[in-house]
Amino acid sequence: MAKFTLLVTANAFRESAATAEPPVRAAGGEVIYSERMGPLAAEELIPYLRRADAVIAATDPYNDSVLEACPRLRAVVRWGTGYDSVDVTACTRQGVAACNAPQFNVEAVADHVLGVMLALARRLPHQAAVMRNGGWEEVRGVEVFGKTLGIVGFGAIGKAVARRARGFNCRILAYDPMLSAETIAEHRGEATDLPTLFRAADFVSLNAALAPENRRMIGAELLREMKPTAYFINAARGPLVDEPALVRALSEGWIAGAAVDAYETEPLPPDHPLRHLPNCLATPHSAFNTVEAADATNRAVVEEVLSVLRGERPRFPLNPAVFDSPAYRGRTPLL
């Protein structure tokens, strides 16, 4: 009989099941997967979650009502960095450890940003479509070398993007209200405000974390500040951007193009205009998803789960206060 049950709603874990599951099973655990991988709505999630001692989670909702309905649950471990779908305060209130696996996808996301910068600049999707359709035309692009890159959110990923862009001799403008101008300068960036960044940049890369106060921080007002030759990239979180405003910016030529990897609603509806605009390079929230990043993240999230079930403090707790709370569900170890 299994010592514990681990629910997985994160598809990236399931795709690596052959290497991701053995440490769980070696510890005496049973792994179960939701029939449809996440994000799941609460009504889909709860029947699975009631059977679980821990969950390796997609961007499913973990809030008071969900956690109250699942008294067996001890740990919610987000696969990856972002945890905006996890109500950390509710987890503490309900005695559930909340964790994530930060930093393991930094290089993957930064690679993606540079990749789409080059693809937009040289119009690679259009060139590939021409060839697939049997055509032949000279497609003129622009150079990335020597251009100005504006980075919104100068955390680990923003800094990794900057490191790569410096290889293209780019000027780096950075906006991050959590960092001093001196700290940004240490990484060879120039601190500035958002309007100035959007006016000056040839490429804008959005790499900020999502918080209640910055939802839809990128809207029509900022997009109208951009040059008509400039490109916008979102490899962060969809709700940071006013999507209707971005659609207008692309449709009406306020900007030259965009690369979008994260959306307000995921999966993105089939009829959403961002899928079909010719100057939008839309990808299915995969910037993080490399073999190397997935392997490292899988190891980290499994260790977070096992740490909680052993009665230990995990490496990446989001709510460390829960371990001293009388409500904490993990006080008696399962392992």
Q: Which residues are catalytic?
A: 237, 266, 285
Which tokens is 115 given?
A: 């990749």
Amino acid (one-letter) located at 226:
M
CA 73, distance to chain mean position in Å, is 24
Of 27, 43, 104, 45, nearest in space to 308 by CA = 27
Amino acid (one-letter) located at 48:
Y
What length is written for the chain? 335
Of 223, 220, 222, nearest in space to 258 by CA = 223
Sign of CA dihedral 291, 297, 303, 309: negative
The percent helix, strand, coil of the chain (3-state, each to 5) is 40, 15, 45
Sign of CA dihedral 180, 101, 238, 235: positive
Report yes or no: 91 and 120 within 8 Å, Cβ to Cβ: no
Residues with Cβ within 8 Å of 253's Cβ and at least 6 positions away in sequence, in order, are 228
CA atoms within 13 A on the CB side of 327: 16
Q: Rounded to whole angstroms, how far apart are CA atoms 12 and 288? A: 10
Angle ∠(151,155,157) on CA atoms, nearest 5: 75
Q: What is the end-to-end Cα distance of the chain in Å, rounded? A: 13
